[in-house]
Amino acid sequence: MPWQALIDAIMLLLWGLMLLRFTVTGKLYLLLHPDYMWLAHLAMVLLLGLGLARSVQVWLSYRQGRGRFLRSQEHVALLPRHFSVGLLIAIAMVGLIYTPRPFASETAFQRGITDVLGQTRSRPQRFSLSGESEDRTIVDWVRTLNVYPEPDAYTGQTAKVSGFVTHIPGWPENMIMISRFVLTCCAADAYPVGLPVELPAGSPRPAPDTWLEVSGTMQTTSLDGKRQLAIGSATLTEIPEPRTPYEY
């Protein structure tokens, strides 16, 4: 049996199946921006096709007694062949078992959510306040503030956004941050954006990472020694975690 060629076929099939699993379950949205999904889909088709072709070749060669001719082409490699192939198979197996989870408040703290309200890496090409204010997402509000950061300019406008709850250290008990992660390419470059929310009097503070739809009126609030735009008179509705929890 040409074991080397067979292991190559298994490796290709496992990687193709891993990408197929992420595609079918929708978890690919947690790893890639939709604009780059076609690359993953193309890689999936090619890997599965190559793996199947290699498997058929191995089988036919074995049946005809020519297994010794099915050696993979030798090439210069930084790592020993058996180690690199084993590593690729191990990664594919982990991908088939592990289920990706969307980033939440802990990662938001690590990536600097406290500084993100007035700064976003997504630079708008033009400034426009057209359309209804309640149609803006968290990212739309942050982009708008990035162009014109005076919070009083938006006081009284209605807002309706959704995201996960983050508790900012040092904030009053009646204040939370409603947050989303933005993907520009892949999960490695995801960064958090958020808006402060003032809870209604007597309302319990939602637990971190709870997904909420927040409706209210924009107001100016003082937090961390600076004036910030916040959602006041808020109505909080708990919602399930979206299938695509990131903004793009």
What beta strand segments (E) does 98-172 contain?
Answer: 158-166
Side chain identity at residue 246, one-letter code: Y
The pLDDT score that the predictor gives to residue 113 is 65
The tens place of each residue's pLDDT in the chain, 248 residues long, gives 467 778 888 999 999 999 999 999 888 888 888 888 999 999 999 999 999 988 888 888 777 765 454 555 555 555 566 778 888 889 889 888 888 888 888 788 777 764 444 344 444 444 455 567 788 889 888 888 888 888 899 989 999 999 999 998 888 889 999 999 988 888 888 888 999 999 988 888 999 999 999 999 999 988 878 888 999 988 999 999 888 888 88
What local confidence, expressed as pLDDT, does residue 125 receive?
Answer: 43
Q: What is the bridge-based pairing of β-strands 191-198 and 175-182?
A: antiparallel
238 contact partners, CB below 8 Å, separation of at least 6 = 206, 210, 211, 212
What gap in Å lies between CA 79 and CA 106, rounded to an integer?
Answer: 36
Cα angle value 217/170/174 (rounded, 5°):
35
Q: How far apart are CA 193 and CA 161, in angstroms?
A: 12
Helix (H) or strand (E) holding 230: strand 226-238
Nearest-angstrom CA–CA distance, 189 and 194: 17
Distance of CA 192 to the CA centre of its chain: 10
Q: What angle do CA 39, 247, 137 make, to 5 degrees?
A: 150
